[in-house]
Amino acid sequence: MSETHESPLRVSLGERSYEIHVAPGALARAGELIPRPGDSTAFIITHPIVARLHGKALAAGLRGLPAETILVPSGERQKSIRRAALLWDELLRRGADRRSLVIAFGGGVIGDLAGFVAATYMRGVPYVQIPTTLLAQVDSSVGGKVAINHPRAKNLIGAFHQPRLVLADVLALSTLSARNYREGLAEVVKHAVIADADLFAWLEQNAAAILQRDPGVLARLVRRNCEIKAGVVSADERETGLRSTLNFGHTAGHAVESLASYGQLRHGEAVAIGMMAAARIARLTGLFPEAEEARLGALLAAFRLPVRIEGASAAAVLDVMRADKKSLGGLPRFVLPTRIGHVEFGREVPAAVVQKALEEVGARD
Ligand SMILES: NC(=O)c1ccc[n+]([C@@H]2O[C@H](COP(=O)([O-])OP(=O)(O)OC[C@H]3O[C@@H](n4cnc5c(N)ncnc54)[C@H](O)[C@@H]3O)[C@@H](O)[C@H]2O)c1
Ligand SMILES: [Zn+2]
């Protein structure tokens, strides 16, 4: 992997292009980097815990940019139409207009929710992503997908709304729970498998420093992951093809996630299991060598992520997959690895092969 550069990454999307700045201590540069439309106020949408832990660093970095903070409780349940409506009310009450800037300061929940509010308030106001979880820094803050949940499905109501800037301060990751941090690592492994064999080898070699959250190592890691995601998104902003490679591990992953009882399996953990299921499908199909599958399992285990389905039956997992919003009645198409660093997407797989793979990675028959 290339060295960490001070120069920002650029997401090329014509007039919606933007920069991603990744560095230890990047919050200190917020005021200098955030676009200031006139003297309008910025509205920071964040959680109480993030405000308490990192709000001072952001306030210092903003250096006089007029900003107000709006607090939202933590939790996936906040990605609701009710919370979005409360935020619209709050913006209105505080006099936010079309030139006002929204700053999403938090993990993926804040990014999706504040981004959705920014996409819809007055037909869209500009927003900036300041991600504070590993998942948000390597994945959700880049790409412009914003959403709230519908009672019947996650992320069903949303928009494409690109941020004006992404500012990732890896020092903010020092306060994350171990479990949430590891969830982010699942998406990191995903990026390496779909696009970058060198990154995968680097992760294998640096697993200990990564688990210790060494800031220099993290800056390289986050930067490379943003580069991969930005590359995919720039090539396919609205997911007509290539972008679907980002769903690697998410087909079976979503199914085991939704079958687990509440709190038992987090998203990143389910994705780790889903990647093993996809790898096994690929192996059974003759696409993916056994030795590569073993490397994937070993790296996920080194990051203390689960690699086997526990407690669910293959039939139940198949049922959930068939009901998936992207599957149009049959089984969804799969993203399958052919080697570490390369995947094929849109693969149809016979149900019997999927069932066998699920059983081999732990599902009951
Ligand atoms: N838009 C996209 O492309 C995309 C991609 C992947 C995931 N997502 C979404 O991301 C969400 C999950 O994101 P997440 O894993 O970041 O969860 P999260 O936003 O709920 O954050 C996890 C927890 O960490 C806390 N927290 C955040 N930053 C912290 C910090 N620096 N120190 C201590 N605690 C901190 C939060 O308060 C929360 O309790 C899901 O809703 C998912 O749908 C979106
Ligand atoms: Zn994911």
- In tens, the pLDDT along 214-252 reads 999 999 999 999 999 999 988 887 877 889 999 999 999
Position 4 scores a pLDDT of 46
More confident residue, 82 or 153: 82
pLDDT of residue 328 exceeding 70: no
Average pLDDT over residues 115-140: 98
pLDDT at position 327 is 63
pLDDT band at residue 330 using 50, 70 and 90 as cut-offs? confident
Q: How far is CA 198 from CA 84, 271, 303, in A?
A: 41, 21, 18
pLDDT at 262 over 90: no
- Ligand 1 pocket residue status of 40, Cβ below 6 Å: no
Which one of 133, 238, 247 would you pick to mutate in the ligand 1 pocket, going by the greatest count of ligand atoms within 8 A of its CB? 133
Structure confidence at residue 2 as a pLDDT band (50, 70, 90): very low
Distances (CA, A) of 118 to 11, 13, 105: 19, 19, 13
Mean pLDDT over 167-195 rounds to 98
Looking at the chain, the whole-number percentage of residues with pLDDT higher than 90 is 87
Q: Which range has the worst mean pLDDT, 6-20, 68-82, 331-345?
A: 6-20
Is the separation of the CB atoms in 305 and 272 below 8 Å? yes
> Mind listing the pLDDT tens digit for each residue in 144-175?
999 999 998 889 999 999 999 999 999 999 99
pLDDT recorded at residue 329: 65
- Output 301-305 pairs: Cβ under 8 A, ≥24 positions apart: 302/204, 302/207, 303/182, 303/185, 303/186, 303/189, 303/207, 303/210, 303/211, 304/182, 304/211, 305/182, 305/185, 305/186, 305/189, 305/268, 305/269, 305/272
* pLDDT at residue number 172: 98
Q: Is the pLDDT of residue 5 over 70?
A: no
Q: What is the dihedral of CA 159, 160, 163, 164, to 10 degrees?
A: -120
Q: Which pLDDT score, from 0 to 100, does residue 182 have? A: 98
Long-range CB contacts (< 8 A, 24+ apart) of 346-355? 346/241, 346/244, 347/285, 349/281, 349/285, 351/318, 353/281, 353/284, 353/285, 354/252, 354/281, 354/318, 354/321, 355/314, 355/315, 355/318
> Can you read off the two tokens belonging to residue 62?
């903003």
Cα distances (Å, whole numbers) of residue 109 to 23, 47, 112: 22, 10, 5
Q: Which of 58, 109, 127, 305 gets mutated to test ligand 1 (max ligand atoms within 8 A of its CB)?
A: 109
CA nearest 31: which of 117, 130, 119, 115? Answer: 130
Of residues 1 and 140, which shows the higher confidence score? 140
Q: What is the pLDDT of residues 50-75, one digit of tens each?
A: 999 999 999 999 998 999 999 999 99
Measure 125 CA to ligand 1 centroid, in angstroms.
22
When the pLDDT of each residue in the chain is averaged and rounded to a whole number, the result is 94
Residue 3: band (very low, low, confident or very high) from pLDDT cuts 50, 70, 90: very low
Percentage, residues of the chain above pLDDT 70: 96
Mean pLDDT of 250-267: 91
Q: Which two tokens stand for residue 303?
A: 């990051």
pLDDT at 240: 76
Question: Does 184 have pLDDT greater than 70?
Answer: yes
Q: How many residues are listed for the chain in this entry? A: 365
Residues that are catalytic: 123, 145, 187, 229, 239, 243, 247, 250, 254, 267
The whole-number average pLDDT for the span 92-111 is: 97
CA dihedral sign, ordered 359, 190, 110, 81: negative
CA distance 246 to 333: 13
pLDDT at 80: 98
Does the beta carbon of 131 sit less than 6 angstroms from any atom of ligand 1? no
User: What pLDDT is attached to residue 120?
Assistant: 98
Minimum CA distance residue for ligand 1 atom 5: 140
Kindly report the pTM of this predicted structure.
0.95
How far is Cα 97 from Cα 4, in angstroms, rounded to an integer?
A: 38
> Does position 124 have pLDDT exceeding 60, yes or no?
yes
